[in-house]
Amino acid sequence: MSRLLEVKNLSKFYTSKQGFFGAKSETVKAVNRITFHIDEQETLGIVGESGCGKSTTGRAVLRLHEPTEGEILYRGKDLCGLSLEEMKPYRQKMQIVFQNANSALDPRWTVEQSLVEPIRLHNPEIGRQELDQRIDRLMEEVGFAPMYKKKYPHEFSGGQRQRIGIAKAISVSPEFVVCDEPVSALDVSVQAQVLNLMKKLQRERKLSYMFISHDLSVIRFISDRVGVMYAGRLVEVAETKEFFENALHPYSRVLMAAVPKPVVMDDKDELYRGIGTIAKASKEGCPFCSRCAQADGRCRAEMPEQREVTPGHFVSCHLYD
């Protein structure tokens, strides 16, 4: 498999304006110098708790949120710095599926109208007959009879709406799709249907996914490799099997321990110290040091760099220097 996307030292900072009564402006490092890659037809799962920067990363990679610094190499071409016009062909190749399908569907439009819009935008010369055939095919690909294209979003259930959202994302034949928590709002049985559909489409259309979720079982099912984010940093990346058998970063192990299991937890175990506490990045040093049971003086003073501990297994932690 060849390299599709390479992200190097990507950051996205937000600075608040100066407030009333002399309140100082503050810079939030939502994504802080993260590096990863995604190959053709590969799924990289990104997992972490709410507010860790997963969704911001997905949007920054697509330049929906303008990155503060870093490189986004798509088939070797750096997308940062491209003009709106120059970005057009990449907008077609790189799509997004949102957590809430309503974000992608206009409630006043039929499904057909919602699907026509992106196809026409990227293929203005397309004829009516070809357009109709393409929409019918899309409906069938996501499991609907073509006649359902005449319905409005409110006539579908949540899972069905998400399948329409997926149809819209693939309507312009992308190569890469950011899937931003696409099954988080669905029942477990419906989640399985949507995940299976996404796997089928990946095989048939040779898609690459960046799949964002806070749910480790979903990540395990869908991903070829897993990346763990904490406080804007990518703290561990490994192949899925290796990650679930041998997670190294203390935060990854806390995440795993937080998955409900039918056993009584030993609350004296230091490993569980981080569960349930609020993620608050330490200003200096390792962002996890205020919650980490193994933190020492060096962790509080020095930010750990990402290192390849075994082939393909990257960790940012001083324990593995």
Q: Which residues bind ligand SF4 (CB under 6 A)?
A: 250, 286, 288-289, 292, 294-295, 299, 304, 317-319
Nearer to ligand SF4, 117 or 302 (CB): 302
The helix/strand/coil state of 286 is coil
CA distance 247 to 87: 37
Q: Minimal distance in Å, beta carbon 211 to ligand SF4?
A: 24
Q: Minimal distance in Å, beta carbon 238 to ligand SF4?
A: 15
Nearer to ligand SF4, 153 or 227 (CB): 227
Q: In what order do the strands lie in the sheet with 225-230?
A: 94-97, 176-180, 208-213, 43-47, 225-230, 233-239, 313-315, 307-310
Q: Minimal distance in Å, beta carbon 250 to ligand SF4?
A: 4
Q: Minimal distance in Å, beta carbon 273 to ligand SF4?
A: 11
The helix/strand/coil state of 246 is coil
Nearer to ligand SF4, 111 or 317 (CB): 317
Torsions phi, psi for 126 (to 5 deg): -65, 135
Query: For residues 211 and 44, is the Cβ–Cβ distance under 8 A?
Result: yes
Q: Comparing C-alpha atoms, which of 225, 301, 234 is closest to residue 9? A: 234
Torsions phi, psi for 240 (to 5 deg): -55, -45
Q: Minimal distance in Å, beta carbon 310 to ligand SF4?
A: 17
Q: Comparing C-alpha atoms, which of 43, 46, 12, 31 is closest to residue 252? A: 46
Nearer to ligand SF4, 131 or 319 (CB): 319
The helix/strand/coil state of 299 is helix
Nearer to ligand SF4, 53 or 304 (CB): 304
Angle between helix 111-122 and 158-170 (nearest 10): 20
Q: Minimal distance in Å, beta carbon 286 to ligand SF4?
A: 3
Nearer to ligand SF4, 153 or 274 (CB): 274
